[in-house]
């Protein structure tokens, strides 16, 4: 279920809290996977750099090829992740936009409270 679907169902959805928990768990799993992949990439690169210090001739060429391959894998992974983040941001924007359109009073009240708090803080600092 997407964020937009969760916003549309509101409190009427029987599994709304479990769906939100599932989305959070998915985002956490994705972040952990990306972090693990990055650690593996760094370890692989360090190993290849150490190996390249003692390699000569054919071995050096193999190390370079392995390094190029691993870097291209990392680039692909980063591109995939950036597309996924962009897609999630768009879904969040769409969900927020839909909520604001459906609940203009609640949204404008929240914005007014935030603006009032900022103005109050600035006024307090001047005194």
Q: Whole-structure pTM over 0.85, yes or no?
A: no
Q: What is the pLDDT of residues 17-31, one digit of tens each?
A: 455 555 566 667 777
SS (H, E, C) the chain: CCHHHHHHHHHHCCCHHHHHHHHHHHHHHHHHHHHHHHHHHHHHHHHHHHHHHHCCCHHHHHHHHHHHHHHHHHHHHHHHHHHHHHHHHHHHHHHHHHHHHHCHHHHHHHHHHHHHHHHHHHHHHHC
| pLDDT band for position 116 (cuts 50, 70, 90) | very high
**Which position has the higher pLDDT, 3 or 70?**
70
């Amino acid at each position: 279920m997407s964020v937009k679907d969760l916003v549309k169902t509101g409190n009427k959805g029987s599994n709304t809290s479990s769906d939100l928990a599932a989305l959070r768990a998915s985002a956490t799993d994705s972040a952990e996977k990306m972090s693990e992949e990055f650690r593996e990439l760094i370890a692989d690169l360090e190993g290849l750099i150490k190996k390249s210090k003692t390699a000569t001739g054919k071995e050096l060429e193999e190390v370079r090829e392995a390094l190029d391959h691993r870097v291209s894998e990392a680039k692909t992974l980063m591109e995939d992740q950036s597309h996924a983040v962009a897609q999630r941001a768009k879904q969040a924007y769409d969900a927020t936009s839909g909520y604001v359109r459906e609940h203009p009073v609640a949204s404008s009240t929240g914005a007014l409270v935030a603006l009032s708090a900022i103005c109050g803080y600035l006024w307090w600092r001047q005194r």
